[in-house]
Structure 1
Amino acid sequence: MRETTRAHRAALSRRSLLMAAPALLVATRASLAQGGDTTWPPVFETGRSQFTLVRPRVVMPVLRLQDLHGKDVAVAAKPGRITLVNFWATWCAACRLDLPVLASLAGSQRDQLDIVAVCTDTKDLRKVRAFLGGLAAQNLACYVDAYGAAAESSASVFPLVGMPITYLVGTGNRVEGYITGAAEWLSPAGARLLQFYREQG
């Protein structure tokens, strides 16, 4: 009987450790980030989403898109600059919150980073312009995936695991990570993440 009790306690102890492991990992990561660990990005989370690293890091491909006037453009990351590549849709409620924040970020950090916002659900430019017209998104470079280039890239380089989703491309033109949902890029945590990747170049 005593052996059964010991075995039961050991099983409970192992289960407790396993259940506590994710929280412990997040706490350790946060403490390392606050302690100045230069090899690990600071924690950046919004609601139920957290900035997630992408490994292996791949070079951002050139995206063949259309601007809001129907002109063909080739969008690429610029060496030495951070690029945020945001994917959104006109049916997405959270995108109505996300796009104005990205527009504000674009306006305040024009000399430090580039933001590319790609509509994924329609090629109808009037519909896209009407959607954006109701938002404070004038500073944002918005495009339409008219040729399926972004959709093709999303299968390998930019998987669309949520909507909206924003990928961070570092100064070396490699995709570093992503966050889903309406992220608080203007928060101190957002600023710390962007600064971390500026210093990685």
Structure 2
Amino acid sequence: MVFGTVNRAVLVGAGVIGAALLGVIAWQAYENSQQRDDIDARNTTIGTLNEQNRTLRQQRDRAQATMALQALQFNRANQISEETRRVRQQSGIRAEQVRRDVHTGISAHTCSRQLLPAADADRLLHYVTELRDDALHPDTRRVDRPNTAIAPTRRLTWGQAVEWIPLLLGDIESCNADKAALRRIDKDKANETAQAH
């Protein structure tokens, strides 16, 4: 019986040790499963963050490209505006010089001091006033627009009328330079936009 009791004690001890080992193995398996789940969750989070990071970098790169293109376009427009300003200034100086030359050339002639017919002078001055009003106030329906019908008449000589021609041609040259600059800006902008895409 002593042998049976010892066997039983050994069997019970082995059973307890076996149960403890099974518990340790089960606990270890559970821990490994939890760690795998945590690793999978972290990998999923890392993948999501990497995708978001990639998307944000693409958006940043597109925004930087857009801003660079806009800066280039602004710079180009400023350069063209400066060129146009110089052309306008030069055409004004040239027109004034031509006007002086015309004045010098025609002032010796008696016909340059003769007055234009009053109706023609009034019509010419009225037309100039309308052009000036339209240039200063594009809204032609303005209520406070000056009444050119009651504007005092001014008599012009033939010489004064002829002297206006170089000034008007200088203004036309300035307007043409402005229009050419606008076309150039639009063309450059279209080319740069096409190249960006």
Normalising by structure 1, report the TM-score.
0.25
Which structure is higher in helix share? Answer: 2
- Structure with more of its chain in strand, by fraction: 1
